[in-house]
Structure 1
Amino acid sequence: MILVPGVAACAAVGVAMAQGVLAASFFISGQKFQVAADSLTARGFSLYGMIDVTRKHELVPVAVSGFRHATVSGLCQSVVVDVPVLGTQTLRLTGGDGRPVEASNLFIDATTESVGQANFDGLDIGVAQGALTKGPVRSADRNSRFFDPDGVAQQALSTTLTDVRVSAVAVSAGTFNIPGLRVRLQQGDHACF
């Protein structure tokens, strides 16, 4: 009962963002969640540092991975919450098993990332954040007081990542099409990894 309003709100926000109704600039909850994928292939990749802000105005340093157009197989997203009386609960979203997930202007604000194998074409390491052109930069980030145009960034024309494991505080996308979407609320810890 305690989780239902939060789950409904998360689902509504996710649908609104996927349909392009809600802007990608928002206060984060500050709670980390997991995002995993068997593979992620993208045209236009960027990686830059940023500071996200919670509703309580706490600052959370993140590495933002941006993908202009991404194709994802074996997508899993999970958040584990301890609920008084009910115990540990997991909200888990999966999709892209039969047909791949497709996203445009996908941004993942991560605190940690690991990849089994990363392949890049047209890679630039050490480019200034303000000079990123091969991959996207979220417009809300570019206009943020925390965006350092002279900060160090990375970009590539394309990338293929396998066995992706990310601890994130936010994910946003211009479009996010998920075939075979499944959302489950389960008792216990059923995190993606």
Structure 2
Amino acid sequence: MTVPAIAVTAGLGIALAQGALAASFAVSGQQFKVSATSLEGEGFAQYGSIDVNAREELIPVAVTAIKEAKLHSLCQSVVTTLPVVGDISLNLTAGKKTPVEASNLFVDATQLSGNAVFTNIEIGRDASTLDKGPTEAVGMQDLFAQQADTVTITDLQQTAWATNAGTFKLSGLSMNISKGKKECF
């Protein structure tokens, strides 16, 4: 192992021990898009963190963690460009009639938009002291974070590197692959 590789490995170990790394796995080299007409959550926390890909590159993310979430009309999409074939889209939809349900939901995002309402929100809390979201939803000491008892986001659109959930119940699940660029938004 070379000196730079040892330094990266040591740095990743320290970051993991201090709660700086978000995803519990190496993220792919592609971000994906997620949209929903609405998200309702109990136990919300949000803080900055870092994902790592298979090349051990560090990727800054904003982690949104929710104890219990319901999503209406969920859409998830990713576009892959393949040699000769071109763009291929993978689309997943669920929750049109019965909402998608998730527990201990973690989304490592680089973009989020929508209309949000929070109850009992705390903005500017130290990320290492979060206590309203899932138990594992804590960041590094001295970093900015926010948390709330509940969150509702309508017209949700986000771009993410990773999603983790303790449980993820997808009612009315449909997945398809098609040629061309067909994203959720």
TM-score (norm 2): 0.85
In structure 1, the partner of 2:119 is 121
Deviations along 1:76-107, whole A, 9 cap, x unmatched?
A: 00000111111110000100001000000001
C-alpha RMSD over aligned residues: 1.2
In structure 2, runs of 5+ residues without a counterpart are: 1-22
CA distance, structure 1, for counterparts of residue 27 and residue 148 of structure 2:
27
Distance (whole Å) between structure 1 residues aligned to residue 79 and residue 29 of structure 2: 13
Residue of structure 1 aligned with 2:158, choices 159, 166, 172: 166
For the residue of structure 1 that corresponds to 2:105, the secondary structure is strand
Three-state SS of the structure 1 residue aligned to 2:141 is coil
Specify the alignment match of 2:147 in structure 1: 155
Amino acid at match of 1:80: V
Partner of 2:56, secondary structure, is coil
Tell me the distance in 2 between the aligned counterparts of 1:76 and 1:184: 12
User: Equivalences for 1:77-156 in 2 at 5 Å?
Assistant: 77-115=76-114, 117-136=115-134, 138=136, 147-156=139-148
CA distance in 2, matches of 1:63, 1:175: 21
> What are the Cα deviations for residues 114-153 of structure 1, in whole angstroms up to 9, with x where unaligned?
11x10000100011111101112537xx5xxxx4222110
Q: Deviations over 1:41-81 (max 9, x none)?
A: 00000000001001101000000000100000010000001
Q: Which runs of 5+ in 1 are unaligned?
A: 1-23
Please give the secondary structure, in 1, of the residue aligned with 2:132: coil
| 2:62 aligned partner | 63
Give the ranges of 4+ consecutive aligned residues of structure 1 lying more than 6 Å apart after TM superposition: none
What is the distance in 2 between the residues matched to 1:32 and 1:87?
18
Sequence identity, in percent?
47
Q: Is the 8 A contact 1:53 1:60 kept in 2?
A: yes
Q: How far did residue 30 of structure 1 move?
A: 2.9
Mapped pair 1:26 → 2:22: no
Q: Give 2:178's aligned amino acid.
A: Q
| Equivalences, count | 163
- Give distance in 2, aligned partners of 1:168 and 1:120: 22
| 2:126 counterpart letter in structure 1 | A
Q: Residues of 1 paired with 2:36 and 2:89: CA distance?
A: 18
Residue 175 of structure 1 is matched in structure 2 by: 167
Greater CA radius of gyration, 1 or 2?
2
Question: Distance between the aligned counterparts of 1:69 and 1:128, measured in 2?
Answer: 22
Q: Are the aligned partners of 1:125 and 1:154 in contact in 2 as well (CA < 8 Å)?
A: yes
1:3 corresponds to? none
Which letter maps to 1:172?
Answer: N
With the length of structure 1 as denominator, give the TM-score of the two structures: 0.82
